[in-house]
A = this chain, B = another copy of it.
Amino acid sequence: MPTPTWTRLSPARRERILVAAMDEFGTHGYSTGSLNVIAREAGVAKGSLFQYFSGKLDLFTYVAEQTSLRIYAHMQPWLDGYDGTIDFTTHLVNSLEAWLDYFAGQPLERGVTAATNMEMDPAVRNAIRVPVNAIYLSGLRPLLEQAVATGDLRKDADLDALLALLLVLLPHLALVPHVPGLDDPLPLTGIHAEVRRENLGRLVAPLLADYSARDRDRPTPSP
């Protein structure tokens, strides 16, 4: 939790420090990220950082929280914008396209997402991942429930399993195009937008098809 001093700072100074911290932690991770570098890049004395935060972990926690709030705010229209006028699989693919486009254009948020997903220290990971996961769950579950309400997903669809799979998958989808060696087999890297959209559909299809209530979502089985 930042100190009262932090809240009295000019927005410009706060933003410079936040950006420098996102950049450093997002590039090197928590434990390897350097407060010296953050202070230098922000144009601020290192001692000042300790006037705003109680220490390295406090700063990283703040960075992770702010980042997840920004990401969530950007995705909100897709989370509560489903009304059943298009089929749910298409809506989900559209949302994932927006998800990928967002991270393609926001290297800072992408880096912090990588850092929070790759942290080894259990104490740090718990401080970061649990609230972030809660944010994602609170947005995704209503979306799936809405899909059941509109009749796009079957009433007996296993929402818990679907949610767990999506939560594992989402960070990988966000990072794969920009993090070489992470999940090279995912067919989303270095391709045109139409091919990427098609491939997103190929990844989502097996997840959703079995729970789809509308016939048009289910391909004809071979005899």
A residues at B contact (CB < 8 Å): 27-29, 31-32, 114-115, 117-122, 125-126, 128-130, 133, 137, 154-156, 158, 160-165, 167-169, 172, 179-187, 199, 202-203, 205-211, 213, 218-219, 221-222
Contacts and interface: CB of A to CB of B under 8 A. Distances in A.
A167 B187 contact: no
Given A122-B180, A168-B169, 14 more contacts: A27-B120, A28-B121, A31-B31, A118-B119, A126-B180, A154-B221, A165-B203, A165-B207, A167-B183, A168-B172, A168-B183, A205-B210, A207-B207, A209-B209
Q: How many copies does the complex hold?
A: 2
Given A154-B222, A165-B203, A185 B137 contact: yes
A70 to B, nearest CB: 21
A180 B126 CA distance: 7
A91 to B, nearest CB: 17
Contacts of A120: 27-29, 32, 114-115, 118
Contact of A164 (B129, B164, B183, B222): B183
Contacts of A184: 129-130, 133
A92 B162 CA distance: 18
Contacts of A207: 165, 206-207
A125 B175 CA distance: 14
A165 B206 contact: yes
B203 A155 contact: no
Contact of A31 (B32, B165, B206, B211): B32
B137 A205 contact: no
A172 to B, nearest CB: 5
A161 B208 CA distance: 13
21 contacts: A29-B31, A117-B118, A118-B119, A125-B180, A126-B180, A137-B185, A158-B206, A160-B185, A160-B187, A162-B206, A164-B185, A164-B186, A164-B187, A165-B169, A165-B206, A168-B183, A206-B206, A206-B208, A207-B207, A209-B210, A213-B221
